[in-house]
Chain A
Amino acid sequence: EIVLTQSPATLSLSPGERATLSCRASQSVHIFLAWFQQKPGQAPRLLIYDASKRATGIPARFSGSGSGTDFTLTISSLEPEDFAVYYCQQRIDWPIFTFGPGTKVDIK
């Protein structure tokens, strides 16, 4: 089973700052990695799939990069609504599409 590790566990930033979140896979997932945002009491929302493709309706301030085992989600300038938990998920180790443990982005 592919294990995803996310860092940092918590990221404390102010609105307007740049957020850089990391996801590392225990073995190559090529580009088959997605990022999700989850706010308290809500379902996750797909942000990025295939490492760098923005999902429908996702603002351009969200971008994804990486391949193989190392991936990054970047939020170029944090808006108040971006403070949430972010999960990465791989889809290559079918049918066990594991999620990472999450990174919480909170207000500094």
Chain B
Amino acid sequence: QITLKESGPTLVKPTQTLTLTCTFSGFSFSTSGEAVGWIRQPPGKALEWLGFIYWDDDKRYRPSLRSRLTITKDTSKKQVVLTLTNMDPVDTATYYCAHILGDYPMYWGQGTLVTVSS
């Protein structure tokens, strides 16, 4: 059974750096084409892809966030980490991590709400 869970701060101040951890189980993250991605959803709004990291450490980022976003993985710890710098109130959202196969998010974490406010 594949599960993912996001963890990290619920409140960050403007200009601070957000670090979220996705801890997963049920897959080894060694299958060709496998990835873990991050998707966010501002309150009451639609979903937005942020980026993802493949089993071979290849990474893809949303172009508009490329200068601020880093995604890394530690397969031995079964974790994927998202770092988003220079946070702004418009970054307030529920952040989801997801297990991706065939470039579709097949399994999702429960999400974590991050509020950006001073």
Contacts and interface: CB of A to CB of B under 8 A. Distances in A.
B104 A99 contact: no
Contacts of B61: 95
A87 B45 CA distance: 11
Given A43-B96, A91-B103, A99 B108 contact: no
Interface residues of A, number: 23
B104 A34 contact: yes
A46 B106 contact: yes
A99 B102 contact: no
A34 B96 CA distance: 17
Contacts, number: 51
Interface in B35-83: 46-49, 51-52, 60-63
- Describe B's contact surface by its main secondary structure: strand
B62 A95 contact: yes
Interface residues of B, number: 21
Nearest to A92: B103
B2 to A, nearest CB: 10
Nearest to B49: A97
B108 A94 contact: no
A55 B106 CA distance: 8
A98 interface: yes
A49 interface: yes
B48 A99 contact: yes
B105 interface: yes
Given A43-B96, A94-B60, A99 B106 contact: no
Contacts of B48: 99
Nearest to B107: A46
Interface of B: 46-49, 51-52, 60-63, 96, 102-111
Given A36-B47, A44-B47, A94-B103, 12 more contacts: A32-B103, A42-B110, A45-B108, A46-B104, A50-B102, A87-B47, A89-B47, A94-B60, A95-B62, A96-B49, A96-B62, A99-B46
